[in-house]
Amino acid sequence: MPSPPSEEVAPRPAGIVERLVRDDVDRKRFLKLAGSTGAASFGAFALAACGNSNKAASSTATSASTSTASSSDATGDLAILNYALTLEYLESEFYGKVVSAGLFSGKVGALIKDFGNQEMTHVEALKGAVEKLGGTPVAKPEGKFPISSAGQVAQLAYTVENLGASAYLGQAANIKNPEVLASALAIHTVEARHAATLGTLIKKPVTPDGAFATPADMSTVLAAVKPFLA
């Protein structure tokens, strides 16, 4: 009796943020759209980039241009939430691999584990926020991180946490929904505290930008995380 044919799993299409990170052409196209036409156009672009048909994207663009302000605001907030979710996926995976590597023990090891658990909580909170607004959480990307020594990992964690805090700060002025803004700021402050704690651990500045934190725009953040995508 012939054996049943093996099943091939179709490759999952990359989410919009992952595509923007990987593809310089997509990133430049997004930035041009976001800068010239705002959140409504980004919503249509995101649907097209995630694999929807041209007809669906065209229909979305048409409806977005005639929708109420609240609908456009929700579209923009969803895009920001999924952007933040992708960053949190990567942070959570990073800490998970650090814990598995067993490079830290004692109080420092427990602290790193706590940070990882908090990043996972951020993931779940952002997924819930996306769903609450009627959206679909972006697919989890596969990360890759250089994990060779405790010192190297602590330095990388410090860099990543500062980047995360800057990313949230960079989007704060673009968020329309007060609940979404409150959630983003609640996560932002934790990212900053993680960074400050790690700074103390490796004898780096706890306030690297001085009295006022410097926000990072989406282009800067996407370029910075590109090396960490498998």
User: What mean pLDDT is predicted for residues 31-57?
Assistant: 39
pLDDT at position 10 is 44
CA angle 228, 164, 151 (to 5 degrees): 60
pLDDT band of residue 30 (cuts 50, 70, 90) is very low
pLDDT band of residue 46 (cuts 50, 70, 90) is very low
pLDDT band of residue 75 (cuts 50, 70, 90) is confident
User: What mean pLDDT is predicted for residues 159-179?
Assistant: 95
Packing angle, helices 24-37 and 218-225, rounded to 10: 170
Helix extents (H) in 102-177: 106-132, 150-171
Q: Could you give the CA distance from residue 187 to residue 194 in angstroms, rounded to a whole number? A: 11
pLDDT at position 230 is 85
Sorted by sequence, the CB contacts under 8 Å of residue 192 that are 6+ apart come out as 161, 162, 165, 213
CATH architecture under which domain 73-228 falls: Up-down Bundle (1.20)
Q: Could you give the CA distance from residue 192 to residue 164 in angstroms, rounded to a whole number? A: 8
pLDDT band of residue 56 (cuts 50, 70, 90) is very low
Determine phi and psi for 14, rounding to 5 degrees.
-70, 145
User: What mean pLDDT is predicted for residues 96-119?
Assistant: 96
76 and 176 in contact (C-beta within 8 Å)?
Answer: yes
- Comparing 61-70, 163-172, 173-182, the range with the smallest average pLDDT is 61-70
pTM of the full structure:
0.72
pLDDT at position 34 is 41
Helices and strands per DSSP (H, E), number in the chain: 9, 0
Q: Residue 37 burial (CB < 10 Å; 0-12/13-18/19+)?
A: middle
What share of the chain in percent tops pLDDT 90? Answer: 66
Between 220 and 53, name the one with better pLDDT.
220
pLDDT band of residue 19 (cuts 50, 70, 90) is low
Strand-pair partners of 229: 143
